[in-house]
Structure 1
């Protein structure tokens, strides 16, 4: 009888243990989730895909002393840079008559191409906006360095993300060297790499963007301060399935304390399960802060991977971001699914930035020129004249020194013409473990009530 009772108690204990483990696993946020598409962000990237190619052709034209180029030579340069795939360069320019202008040279009697007056004005506007916000870019760079473990980052990694951070091409001289009270350039003893190091830690820069958002939400909506203290703004995409246990797991995760991205965690014991959970939520806060420091509140996943080791980010970044689809959105549109763009969902509404800045508006102006219908272009059906207007003569040559490298962001599209110093090469020690598998087949179209 005692043996029977002991056996029964063991079985009962096993059942209770199994139920407890099942409940604990079911109330945890699933590690792998199906990616649900949000068409507002995907449409945004479809427009940017066209804009990115237009920028490459613009850089080829503006690299010439006369800011004009024969169509035949443009075809050769575009083919070397890997920009032409199916259509020739001349046919591509004709798709965007508000940006490019094709004319017949009065002396050589061959077809040339140049930028239109509206495109030159957009370049001038973007250049002015870029240099006007350099003080804010200095603050963004200082906060970025404070999030790293050693308060320093590789110069090459910052250079790769310069466009997203609103830094000019010559930021090493115009930003870093011109502000010695904030930054210091050092050379590594072993790897021979240059690093940007923060000179003095300012406690006023340790405030995260999510903390300011929490304060606004608390003042506007009120509620329990304990619920808002460690929470993030969550907005799941349309069609995202959320069940009972997932809702409970999300509620528990929102109340979980974590260390700030600007806090030094080297002195903590991170071997416990509680510490690992805090570090996972700290990684969410770090990526949230990194996106908040960008101009357009978005950045490619490949660029985030360069900061993975320096900021204690997870190894499989894509799966980690898909685990938090209510905070981030990963779009695979552009470059045949090989380019992953991470958006901060709370910063966008219906595919537009909620709080735009001048640099963002200047870049969107180019997208407006790209989207204008060719039928609305006031140009001659055959050719346009060579003579420019007086306004264009007064404007003078506008250089685009901050246009990115013509080969950048086109890796994998065509094998021809890829640059040897391509900045999106993920074969480095930081970005080699990024999962770039396209999950376009995981789209979920069923609607669900999130209330």
Structure 2
């Protein structure tokens, strides 16, 4: 027994050094259960994760939107690979090396995935029996239309990239990080090699000491240092002389109907947050104290601004976390997104989470649709189908038996369709609670959701 106590005390010293229990009550008896099991259970129950949110508090419409664009993203990935080929055709087996880029995990078969969009992809065999993939005329026409729309959107995309540089601390961003926003901002595929050199008056590519390519701001644009929120609420337009500073504008809140009890319970904290002044995303924030209320509200403003730049008013949360240091945002970014459910909605579908700007949506539809959004909707209407498999043509008179086994008999059951995927386990966002009495905590939000479900 003495040895057990000594071991427990030694382990506790290490735990205290790691600050795991800074905010946890010390009320558990040490001898009733193994210490390691106690540690695991406590750490698990104190995690504040997206999955901890009540299923009834998920916004079904936005979850459906996530599923739609996940499929579109996969299909677009294949089309971009084909577009880079000389004849825009490729052996299906060669697509295996692009699984990560397409985001099509095993054991799903690429050939089966392609067969589900016969209006976009054509499969055929050559004389040696090798299966090839190409695009239909309809798909090629869609790509041409997209290129035209992206070109028309180019100046606006350049403005958004410039404004991102203006928000960054060093007025420069790594090129590979900007690449994460390529589709979201409507940038062309050749943005690294050609597009970035089209606007020398705005930005230029520089090499860092470690050999990395950075995009650096060339000149500050005062007219662009006005947030999208200022434009929307105040009707502010581009001003030639504008100095960003403190803002006191409330964010537009849009809670789902099933959040009424939660909003009623925490209305005071929400109102207090809305009234608090904060520093403009375009102002220098290096003097702010990390973890302060002003620091967190400015981070909310930055995320609001970034989402406003995107075509679909949504981003993969991973892409936001890449810019913590450059935009002076908190380490626990997911916690902040979850706390402000009236401004953002986090979808947990798949391995990568998505965050929506709630004010931009009405049900499943974007309120304001640009040309690229309309194009995506037309594209989506051609993705996927239900029914009999399309026959795979060949260049020679092959016997029917030679390609009967191309697809397994049970492949219909394995095909990828627009269905909700299994929830993936995400690492704990954090094990301690933020000390913030003026804003609603995620823990409070979760418990309120459960209370609401019971009533």
The answer to whether TM tops 0.5 is: yes
Report which stretch shifted further, 256-265 or 107-116.
107-116
SS at 1:172 equivalent: coil
Shift of 1:41: 1.1
Structure 1 distance, partners of 2:208, 2:295, is: 28
| Residue in structure 1 matched with residue 153 of structure 2 by the alignment | 133
- Count matched residues: 347
Q: RMSD of the TM alignment (CA)?
A: 3.5
Q: Is the 8 A contact 1:318 1:434 kept in 2?
A: no
1:312-346 C-alpha deviation (Å, 9 max, x unpaired): 11111111100001001111113xxx201111111
| Residue in structure 1 matched with residue 132 of structure 2 by the alignment | 112
| Residue in structure 2 matched with residue 188 of structure 1 by the alignment | 208
Q: Is the 8 A contact 1:145 1:153 kept in 2?
A: yes
Task: Say which of 214, 223, 247 aligns to 1:204.
Answer: 223
SS at 1:168 equivalent: coil
Task: Say which of 294, 299, 309 aligns to 1:278.
Answer: 294
| Residue in structure 2 matched with residue 28 of structure 1 by the alignment | none
Structure 1 distance, partners of 2:334, 2:105, is: 30
SS at 1:310 equivalent: coil
Shift of 1:296: 1.6
Structure 2 distance, partners of 1:272, 1:313, is: 8
Structure 2 distance, partners of 1:84, 1:304, is: 23
Shift of 1:256: 0.8
Shift of 1:285: 0.6
Q: Show structure 1 runs of 5+ residues with no match.
A: 1-30, 218-227, 387-412, 414-432
Structure 1 position 158 matched with structure 2 position 171: no
Structure 1 position 307 matched with structure 2 position 342: no
Structure 1 distance, partners of 2:119, 2:293, is: 52
Task: Say which of 143, 146, 167 aligns to 1:123.
Answer: 143
Structure 1 distance, partners of 2:263, 2:183, is: 39
| Residue in structure 2 matched with residue 66 of structure 1 by the alignment | 87
Shift of 1:95: 1.7
Q: Show structure 2 runs of 5+ residues with no match.
A: 1-47, 237-246, 396-421, 432-441
1:231-250 equivalences in 2 (<5 Å): 231-240=250-259, 241-242=261-262, 244-250=264-270
Structure 1 distance, partners of 2:312, 2:77, is: 20
Shift of 1:231: 0.5
Task: Say which of 116, 119, 134 aligns to 1:95.
Answer: 116
Structure 1 position 83 matched with structure 2 position 104: yes
Structure 2 distance, partners of 1:79, 1:158, is: 22
Task: Say which of 351, 358, 361 aligns to 2:374.
Answer: 361
SS at 2:112 equivalent: helix
| Residue in structure 2 matched with residue 263 of structure 1 by the alignment | 283
| Residue in structure 2 matched with residue 382 of structure 1 by the alignment | 391
| Residue in structure 1 matched with residue 58 of structure 2 by the alignment | 37
Structure 2 distance, partners of 1:163, 1:284, is: 23
| Residue in structure 1 matched with residue 42 of structure 2 by the alignment | none
| Residue in structure 2 matched with residue 330 of structure 1 by the alignment | 346
Task: Say which of 281, 300, 306 aligns to 1:290.
Answer: 306
Structure 2 distance, partners of 1:244, 1:135, is: 44
Report which stretch shifted further, 77-86 or 46-55.
77-86
**Structure 2 vs 1, CA of residues 110 and 436 (structure 1 numbering), >3 Å: closer, same or farther?**
farther
Structure 2 distance, partners of 1:108, 1:356, is: 47
Q: Is the 8 A contact 1:99 1:370 kept in 2?
A: yes
Shift of 1:304: 0.7
| Residue in structure 2 matched with residue 11 of structure 1 by the alignment | none
